[in-house]
Amino acid sequence: MSKFPFQRMTRMTKTLVPIVTLLALTVSGCSGGEADVSQPQTGDAGEKPDPYGKYSEPVTVNLGYYTPAENKWPEGSKDTLTDNRYTQMIEEKFNIKINHAFEAPQSGYDQKVSLLVSSNDIPDFLFVSESDFNLLVESDMVEDLTKAYEDYASPLLKNVISGFGPDFVKKVTYKDKLYGIPSTVPAHDNDNIVWIRTDWLKKVGIELPKVITTDDLEKVARAFIEQDPDGNGKKDTYGLQGTSTFVTGTTNYNSFDGIFTAFKSFPKIWVKDANGKIVYGSTLPETKQALGKLRDWYAAGLIDKEFGTIKPDQVAKDISAGKAGISTGYTWAPAKSLADSVKNDPKAEWDSFILAAPDGKWYNRQPNPMGRIMVVKKGTPHPEAIIKLINWFTDMDNMAPGYPKLYSESPGTNWQVRPIQRTFRVKSTVYDRFQRLQDAASGKLKREELPESDMKLFDQYQKGMDALKASPSDWAYILYQFNGGKSVLNPINTEVYSEFYGITKSMEMKWTNLSKLEDESFLRIIVGDKPLDYFDTFVSEWKKQGGGDVTKEVQAEVDRMK
């Protein structure tokens, strides 16, 4: 039987064992001989493992559950969180009954899970964070899922997980054994776009290529401030607006993240230096250069003087009111703020632009590809039951042939009402959809060749953007999918992943203070409270206050991953 490679993110030093093949992730698992009576019951007695097989007797899955923040059942429906189309079809298809071991508000789910983990009182099936996963494995509280995964995971699920690379599965294995099924976070869902009002560009006489530089952005910001693009005879429009969360590990709404990456600066993530050693991106010279540019822009009045305290909602109001014509951040920013812009001014026109680095590449830091991890309490009967359910939902998440389209006619029904409240999507999910839509728009792909959900988007796109303004939310979503999506597909798009997403021992004690030091130092440099060379002081203090110890621990974990 093939094995899983040894590795996991841990706060404890472990003795390495030889790494073995990843075949278990890419081929069907073997079926063993006689059952090991010391292990939890797996499948029906004498059955051949079937990833979609139905139990002859009812099996109950007791799992932790969070209540979606918003949900609307179909009109006239008697559906509930415990009795709905999902649970009914699961019972019909698998003879599995879903029981909520607990229900917690979505905002309080992780806290609830951490309390259960610390009290050694977890339910049979549970999605947990990486840090809680580590504690559970160290405490010998969760089931070895190696055989269950090999025997019962569908080929699609195995392909989804293996598609994120060998290091991905290493995070949930220990001593050659698999202890969790990781949900996935596709790439390119948060790429950094600069959205600019193109009707304002025409008014100030600026033509921009789709790929712009920081000099281009500076020119636009200055023009929008000084040349009265809204035509009211007053200098009351903004250039660049940043919020109190102006730099993150990926990107944020109206942040300066794209300006940092335009300098090949990758703050708040771990990267390799020229010698292949792990370093913290916020401490590198490129970050100092980016801060220097932001400092110059702030001194010149191109950045709103109150940017360090502005909340994202205020920026959205300024855009809606026609006082701001630049929005930086998420690819899907139109759905968040630009819709009200055209609602209040139907003449408003927006388009996406790429802020590239001097080497011509567009760098986008990607989120942690690993979402929450499904674990099974040690000794729980039928651990493979949860894998069967994950198989089924993986089919839905990836629109496999014949996948069930539950609640497709009820857009108000939140997908999170399903029992498996995480997604298992291939890495290229977002990218693939953008490509399909562009192919349909160019005629390379026929409408009827699109998935049903894409057909609806394509039909809206064909109405024309001006016609869609009658429904600003539809206009914004199509702008995101087609204009934003086209930018994401640009070949200069370059993925940047952190070399480490876990938590080390020193991080637990020192990271909050280190992050505060970083954020305050960056802000003081930008607004001119400290000189640019104060950056060197920050780096020195960061290392002295624990950053050096953290870096050594991260290096050790990355080395162990090899």
**Distance from C-alpha of 456 to C-alpha of 341, rounded to nearest angstrom:** 24
Task: Report yes or no: 102 and 63 within 8 Å, Cβ to Cβ.
Answer: no
CA distances from 538 to 24, 354, 355, 519 (A): 47, 30, 27, 10
Place of tokens 């009109």: 75
Beta strands (DSSP E) in 204-307 are 211-212, 270-272, 278-280
Of 168, 172, 162, the closest CA to residue 8 belongs to: 172
Q: Give the number of other Cβ atoms within 10 Å of residue 58's Cβ.
A: 10
pLDDT the model gives residue 30: 34
Partners of 373 in the β-ladder: 128, 182
Helix (H, G, I), strand (E, B) or coil at 240: strand
Q: Report DSSP state, residue 242.
A: -
Of 314, 290, 366, 330, the closest CA to residue 476 belongs to: 330
Walk along the chain (562 residues) in steps of 10 and give the mean pLDDT of each run: 36 33 34 41 74 97 96 96 98 98 96 95 96 94 98 98 92 94 96 97 98 98 97 95 91 93 98 96 98 98 87 82 93 86 95 98 97 97 98 96 92 96 97 98 96 94 96 95 97 97 92 97 97 98 98 93 73
Q: At what angle do helices 534-542 and 505-527 cross, to 10 degrees?
A: 170
- Side-chain-side CA neighbours of 171 within 13 Å: the count stands at 28
Q: Is the domain of 342 the same as that of 391?
A: no
pLDDT the model gives residue 308: 79
Q: Is the domain of 203 the same as that of 130?
A: no
Q: Is the domain of 127 the same as that of 221?
A: no
Identify whether 182 is part of a domain: yes
Identify whether 544 is part of a domain: yes
Kind of pairing between the strands at 350-355 and 193-197: antiparallel
Q: Is the domain of 248 the same as that of 348?
A: yes
pLDDT the model gives residue 19: 31
Q: Is the domain of 375 the same as that of 360?
A: no
Task: Report yes or no: 396 and 424 within 8 Å, Cβ to Cβ.
Answer: no
**Distance from C-alpha of 493 to C-alpha of 360, rounded to nearest angstrom:** 10
> In this structure, what token pair is assigned to residue 106?
């979505």
> In this structure, what token pair is assigned to residue 371?
């979402």
Q: Is the domain of 201 the same as that of 169?
A: no
Identify whether 451 is part of a domain: no
Of 357, 332, 327, the closest CA to residue 260 belongs to: 357
| Counted domains in the chain | 2
Q: Is the domain of 241 the same as that of 352?
A: yes
Task: Report yes or no: 514 and 542 within 8 Å, Cβ to Cβ.
Answer: yes
Q: Is the domain of 256 the same as that of 296?
A: yes
Q: At what angle do helices 155-162 and 384-397 cross, to 10 degrees?
A: 80
**Distance from C-alpha of 401 to C-alpha of 421, rounded to nearest angstrom:** 21
Of 383, 430, 367, 391, the closest CA to residue 160 belongs to: 391
Helix or strand run (H / E) with residue 523: helix 505-527
The domain spanning residue 413 has which CATH number?
3.40.190.10
Q: Is the domain of 294 the same as that of 387?
A: no
At residue 350, φ and ψ (nearest 5 deg) are: -130, 150
Identify whether 439 is part of a domain: no
CA distances from 342 to 199, 460, 461, 470, 474 (A): 12, 17, 16, 9, 11
Which range marks the domain in which residue 334 is found?
Answer: 193-365+493-561
pLDDT the model gives residue 561: 74
Of 380, 399, 417, the one marking the end of a domain is 417
Identify whether 241 is part of a domain: yes
Q: Is the domain of 171 the same as that of 42?
A: yes
Identify whether 340 is part of a domain: yes
Identify whether 6 is part of a domain: no
Q: Is the domain of 218 the same as that of 353?
A: yes
Q: Is the domain of 391 the same as that of 513?
A: no
Contacts 24+ apart (CB under 8 A), 286-292: 287/260, 287/263, 287/535, 288/532, 288/535, 288/536, 289/263, 289/265, 290/256, 290/259, 290/260, 290/262, 290/263, 290/265, 291/522, 291/525, 291/526, 291/532, 291/535, 292/532
Identify whether 171 is part of a domain: yes
- Side-chain-side CA neighbours of 396 within 13 Å: the count stands at 18
Of 446, 470, 466, 469, the closest CA to residue 458 belongs to: 446
